[in-house]
């Protein structure tokens, strides 16, 4: 049974399933998808996301605001804590730093301040942190260290960096999560990390509806496609798909207290 440790179900195209999550889950039972973590990326759409999946015990949620979401409300530590406790969220995030499309210094400041608030909210709730990082390796690790993010731990999701960053995150009590990117032919750096990461510190995810894995690359992504990520991880690590599924599920349970 597979666990998709990071998806955005509220953004997945469910039209082929009559816009019904229940119908989607029923239709994809053969893919052995056991559980999903539906991750929040903005404050305005969070209530709808929460309500969309509330009836399903096999779908957990997080609460947080993505670093690239610069237009909407920026929640305080208190607001994040209140929402996470009220709604039984299993994690804070996704949060972090993304300098890929950074346009000015003020946006950088907003991202860094928001990241710090999310880490503090995680510490107040004793929940793990889901971190997004892109083109911001040094600042991500620096802020994690300065804010003692390792006190609660968490995961660097959809990992795209090198082993040096992975090792620093592992030393800070974090897990590394691999998305469909690990199946891409040119993703040699990510594949190297996938081979080296300790057995008890990796997760698998889809980040759906984005980044569909091979053989679905270029098409809409769905949580049940996490099996393709598992298959590639098994190939890279020289183990069975069943072992990747079992180990990643056990790691998910440990990190998110499932």
For the chain, the average pLDDT equals: 97
- Model confidence pTM above 0.95: yes
The ranges assigned to domains in the chain are: 2-256
| pLDDT for res 183 | 98
| pLDDT for res 192 | 98
Q: Give the separation between CA 173 and CA 97, rounded to whole angstroms.
A: 19
| pLDDT for res 103 | 81
Q: Give the separation between CA 255 and CA 193, rounded to whole angstroms.
A: 20
pLDDT tens profile 150-161:
999 999 999 999
Lowest mean pLDDT among 54-63, 88-97, 101-110, 116-125: 101-110
Residues whose CB falls within 8 Å of the CB of residue 121, separated by 6 or more in sequence, listed in order: 77, 80, 81, 84, 92
| pLDDT for res 101 | 86
Class of the CATH-defined domain 2-256: alpha beta
| pLDDT over 90 (residue 203) | yes
Q: Give the separation between CA 51 and CA 201, rounded to whole angstroms.
A: 31
Residue (of 171, 82, 67) closest to 127 by Cα position:
82
| pLDDT for res 211 | 97
């Amino acid at each position: 049974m597979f666990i998709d440790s990071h998806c955005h179900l509220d953004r997945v195209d469910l039209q082929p399933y009559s816009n019904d999550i229940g119908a989607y889950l029923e239709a994809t039972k053969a893919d052995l998808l056991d559980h999903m973590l539906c991750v929040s990326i903005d404050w305005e759409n969070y209530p709808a996301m929460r309500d969309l999946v509330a009836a399903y015990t096999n779908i957990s949620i997080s609460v947080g605001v993505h670093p690239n979401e610069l237009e909407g409300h920026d929640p305080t530590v208190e607001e994040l804590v209140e929402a996470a406790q009220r709604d039984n969220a299993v994690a804070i995030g996704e949060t972090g730093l993304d300098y890929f499309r950074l346009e000015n210094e003020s946006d950088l400041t907003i991202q860094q301040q928001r990241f710090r608030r999310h880490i503090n909210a995680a510490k107040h709730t004793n929940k793990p942190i889901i971190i997004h990082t892109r083109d911001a390796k040094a600042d991500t690790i620096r802020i994690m260290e300065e804010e003692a993010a390792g006190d609660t731990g968490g995961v660097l999701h959809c990992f795209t960096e090198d082993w040096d960053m992975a090792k620093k995150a592992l030393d800070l009590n974090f897990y590394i999560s691999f998305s469909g990117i690990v199946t891409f032919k040119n993703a040699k750096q990510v594949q190297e990390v996938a081979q080296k990461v300790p057995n008890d510190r990796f997760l698998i995810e889809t980040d759906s509806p984005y980044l569909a894995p091979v053989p679905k690359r270029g098409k809409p992504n769905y949580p049940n496609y996490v099996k393709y990520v598992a298959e590639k991880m098994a190939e890279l690590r020289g183990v069975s798909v069943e072992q990747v599924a079992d180990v990643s599920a056990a790691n998910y349970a440990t990190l998110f207290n499932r």
